Amino acid sequence: MKTHARVVVIGGGVVGVSALYHLAKKGWSDVVLIERKELTSGSTWHAAGLLPLFNMSYSVGQIHKYSVKFYQELQEETGMNVGFRNVSNIRLAQTEDRMDEYRQYAGVASTIGVDVDFLTPDEVKDIWPLCNTEGLVGAIRHPGDGYIQPADLTQALARGARDRGAEIYRNTTVTGISRTASGEWKITTDKGEITCEHVVSATGNFARQTGRMVGLNIPVIPVEHQYIVTEPHDDIKARQAAGLPEMGVLRDSDGRWYMREEAGGLILGPYEAGAPACYVDGPSADSEYELFQEDLERLEPHIESAMHRVPAFGESGVKKVYNGAIAYTPDGNPIIGPAWDVPNFWLSEGHSFGITAAGGAGWQLAEWIVEGEPTIDMLGVDPRRYGSYANESYLKAKNEEAYENVFVIHYPDEERGAARPLRTAPCYDRLKDLGAVFGQKFGWERANWFAPEGTPQEDHWSFRRSNWFEHVGNECAIRLRMPACWTCRPLPNAGFPALAPRPSSTILPPTSCRRASGAYRSPCADRAWRRAFRIHDPA
């Protein structure tokens, strides 16, 4: 094992190997990956391999889009078959509210550059003839969607990284991480020590244990996820014998499950209520290719839903049930970027859709490390969006909630209730007595709106007008609104030259601040005083 590298990546799942590959592709060949067991032996090996492009987050949507395109190019580059199947994906809708969600998503998809088509129930039947379309109001389809073989993908990434000079050390356990007097990192392993400028933590189920080595409370706790693999079904085998294409990935969002073909049978993966957090203190030291005991009783409502929607599923015998850990964060989005208060320590953790995100996460992390900033807006996955309030009990409750809510309708103004109230101001009870309906920011409860006497103190969300609309309108008619979400900072006159390259305009009306690359960063408004400037920016 070498004793110095520019970057050390810890973790040999698909996420860590992708980070290694993209760093090497950026020209940093002096990079090393350390894996405690074998590549993919954590959560990657048991993943279903789906590549969903659907995501309401601009940050995550961009990451997923890159991954799907990159995986096809990787197969050509390395000559290794990654098992990519571009079979498309259909998301069903049983309600108009669900269709409203899809309509809003279509706007996000258009911005990102992802193709999405709207389907009628008859069109769903044409593409998925085994689907019972009774009760459907419509659907959307991603023609570029599909699935991949996670282990094959990881090995192709590893080959691509090695071909560019990167090194991978398997069966090597990290036992300590510390800073040297020169500011470099020293990684202590059971095979020796290695110093480096940067550390990338991509340790999946071990994220919290890795974080503790450098004093970080990484807000990641895994949740159990089960999926069922069936025996082959005659109708699917007949389609294969006739040379017909795969029917693609089917998602019944209102039934809260996904399904796809697998070796002449079907895979069913529900996102059920009651799935427990696991590995709260991390897996055991000898954990490798680990699964939990299946619990089909938790899945009963979803199994019944799947049997109604796809009768062939109910006619197939069960071949295998997988129950493995998937890393989660409180909002379900991964944590990608620089750690807070720990220089040159980078995180790519909490990937609940790690196969889909791995390519894009590695791409942006490499850009951030090598170039100094990412090339897309990474606000939705920035590690600094959480604070010290995200303790163990909070994470367990919120991560289980995030898992359970994967398929629920996500409204623009939703406020999830688990682990709340957590932080409250002294006036909390008084505001509640006055009719306040609360949301939360950074763990703090804050009044979003006030319900008049006789009106329930609860939210009813909608993509059109939620129940707060009328009441907030009445409040606005009688109050003076102060811009409390903006800060005002006077700067000495001598400070303006340093700001000059950043604001996109030196004219005094409202303007914006830019990154060094010219990308938009933040709105601001500057006003000239006699000997100083005043900068307003979002707090």
DSSP for 177-200 reads EEE-TTS-EEEEETTEEEEEEEEE
Residue 364, in any domain of the structure:
yes
For residue 127, the surrounding DSSP H or E stretch is helix 121-127
Cβ contacts of residue 469 below 8 Å, gap of 6+?
A: none
pLDDT at 358 over 70: yes
Residue 404, in any domain of the structure:
no
**β-bridge mates for residue 492, sequence order:** 532
- Residue 258, CA atoms < 13 Å, CB-side half-sphere: 22
**β-bridge mates for residue 320, sequence order:** 229
**Which runs of E-coded beta strand occur in 134-274?**
138-142, 167-169, 174-179, 185-189, 192-201, 223-230, 249-252, 257-262, 265-270
Residue 407, in any domain of the structure:
no
Least confident interval from 84-93, 328-337, 464-473, 513-522: 513-522
Regarding whether 245 and 128 lie in a shared domain, the answer is yes
pLDDT at 537 over 70: no
Domain hosting residue 469, numbered range? 412-478
Confidence of residue 155 (pLDDT cuts 50, 70, 90): very high
Confidence of residue 525 (pLDDT cuts 50, 70, 90): low
Confidence of residue 251 (pLDDT cuts 50, 70, 90): very high
Report the candidate in 356, 409, 410 with the shortest Cα–Cα distance to residue 150. Answer: 356
Residue 396, in any domain of the structure:
no
What CATH code is carried by the domain that includes residue 197?
A: 3.50.50.60
Question: 358, 380, 402: which is the final residue of a domain?
Answer: 380
Q: What is the pLDDT of residue 474?
A: 86
Q: What is the pLDDT of residue 284?
A: 94
The sign of the dihedral angle between the CA atoms of 427, 430, 434, 440 is: positive
Confidence of residue 475 (pLDDT cuts 50, 70, 90): confident
What's the Cα-to-Cα distance from 456 to each of 274, 391, 476, rounded to whole Å? 28, 31, 20
Q: What is the pLDDT of residue 477?
A: 77
For residue 78, the surrounding DSSP H or E stretch is helix 58-78
- SS3 track for 443-502: CEEEEEEECCCCCCCCCCCCCCCCCCHHHHHHHHHHCCCCCCCEEEEEEEHHHHHHHCCC
Q: Do residues 360 and 377 touch, judged by C-beta distance below 8 A?
A: no
Neighbours of 500 (CB within 10 A): 9
Residue 405, in any domain of the structure:
no
Regarding whether 521 and 472 lie in a shared domain, the answer is no
Regarding whether 498 and 470 lie in a shared domain, the answer is no
When divided into structural domains, the chain yields a total of 3
* 139-148 average pLDDT score: 96
Regarding whether 508 and 467 lie in a shared domain, the answer is no
Regarding whether 436 and 499 lie in a shared domain, the answer is no
Q: What is the pLDDT of residue 25?
A: 98
Regarding whether 516 and 436 lie in a shared domain, the answer is no
Regarding whether 494 and 466 lie in a shared domain, the answer is no
* Two tokens, residue 456: 């329930």
**Each residue's pLDDT tens digit, 98-133:** 999 999 999 999 999 999 999 999 999 999 999 999
**Each residue's pLDDT tens digit, 201-247:** 999 999 999 999 999 999 999 999 999 999 999 999 999 999 999 99
Question: 455, 478, 501: which is the final residue of a domain?
Answer: 478
Q: What is the pLDDT of residue 7?
A: 99
Which is more confidently placed, 461 or 494? 461
Q: What percent of the chain has pLDDT over 70?
A: 88
Q: What is the pLDDT of residue 106?
A: 96
Q: What is the pLDDT of residue 495?
A: 46
Report the candidate in 45, 75, 50 with the shortest Cα–Cα distance to residue 64. Answer: 50
Residue 532, in any domain of the structure:
yes
Q: What is the pLDDT of residue 329?
A: 98
**Distance separating alpha carbons of residues 172 and 313, to the nearest angstrom:** 43
* Two tokens, residue 179: 């800073």
Q: What is the pLDDT of residue 476?
A: 82
Confidence of residue 482 (pLDDT cuts 50, 70, 90): very low
Regarding whether 492 and 457 lie in a shared domain, the answer is no
Residue 119, in any domain of the structure:
yes
* Two tokens, residue 357: 């995100």
Which is more confidently placed, 528 or 134? 134
Residue 387, in any domain of the structure:
no
Q: Do residues 472 and 498 touch, judged by C-beta distance below 8 A?
A: no
- Mean pLDDT (the chain, rounded): 92
Regarding whether 360 and 447 lie in a shared domain, the answer is no
* Two tokens, residue 52: 């969903």
**Each residue's pLDDT tens digit, 282-330:** 999 999 999 999 999 999 999 999 999 999 999 999 999 999 999 999 9
Regarding whether 519 and 460 lie in a shared domain, the answer is no
Report the candidate in 200, 196, 215 with the shortest Cα–Cα distance to residue 346. Answer: 200
Regarding whether 170 and 98 lie in a shared domain, the answer is yes
Regarding whether 420 and 287 lie in a shared domain, the answer is no
For 423, which DSSP code?
A: B
**Each residue's pLDDT tens digit, 370-398:** 999 999 999 999 999 999 999 999 999 99
For 169, which DSSP code?
A: E
Question: 380, 397, 422: which is the final residue of a domain?
Answer: 380
For 238, which DSSP code?
A: H
